[in-house]
Structure 1
Amino acid sequence: MSSLLRARIARPLAARPSVQLFTAAARRNIHEIYTVDEAKAKAFIDEEVAVEEHAGATAGLWYKISLFLAIPLCAAAIYRSYGMEKEHIHHLKHDAEHYDEDSAPNEFVYQNIRNKDFFWGDGDKTAFWSDLANHHKR
């Protein structure tokens, strides 16, 4: 055991500085150690109240923005996308009626590699297969 450690253990508790701070006399005179500055305390409390009010107003603003701006814009975007997709499907159906095998795009060997058949359908069509958009010559 080092000599410093032995000296620290051997010292009586009353001689230790940490114990002296919490003696009965120090506890009675705690108001002398910590003085309260009323002006600083009031300034701190006023600042905290101002921060709370600002946070409440900002949260209310963003709630209103999401409710009255974001939700209607999302609904308008969904409505527009639905109309465009409906028109696109109409064109795909029209093209499927007049589909010509000679005008089909080239199929490359790496595009439809099937090492094992899928367990649904005829085993050749992927999970996202669309007969209108995908034309696969097997």
Structure 2
Amino acid sequence: MEAGERLRITWCGHSYFMVEAGGLRVAMDPHDGDSLGLPRCRAQADLVLVSHDHYDHNAVELASGPRTRVVRWREGELSLGGLRVRGVRLSHDDKGGSLFGSVVAYVIEAEGLTLAHLSDVGEPSDSAERVAGPT
């Protein structure tokens, strides 16, 4: 990261983002690239967050190394270094999950900033409020 940057976000195509903050790298929903016609985005992240187990969101091996912590579609909170991560379960479709099941949206707090990754959320109505949490 450049001097003075608190957060860097790199889009790797589709729902795959790499976030650098607090001296850590977080990969969210890594894909293999090939199956989507996109270039591969390899990285050795400290933390990999996977929203759900579909091929275009779960290529953990391309973003992880021997010390990488991997979180797969898990609700709740965790802390790693200066990062705080919260997972919120949402529907993958607009039928309450009856068609495609659920996904976990992740909220990352670091360096005084908050970032929400909604992945393949299909709930149009109250998703933002549920991810934002209590105010």
TM-score range, shorter chain: under 0.3
Higher strand share: 2
Compare relative contact order (CA 8 Å, sep 6+) and give the higher one, 1 or 2.
2
Higher helix share: 1
Structure 1 length-normalised TM = 0.17
Structure 2 length-normalised TM = 0.18
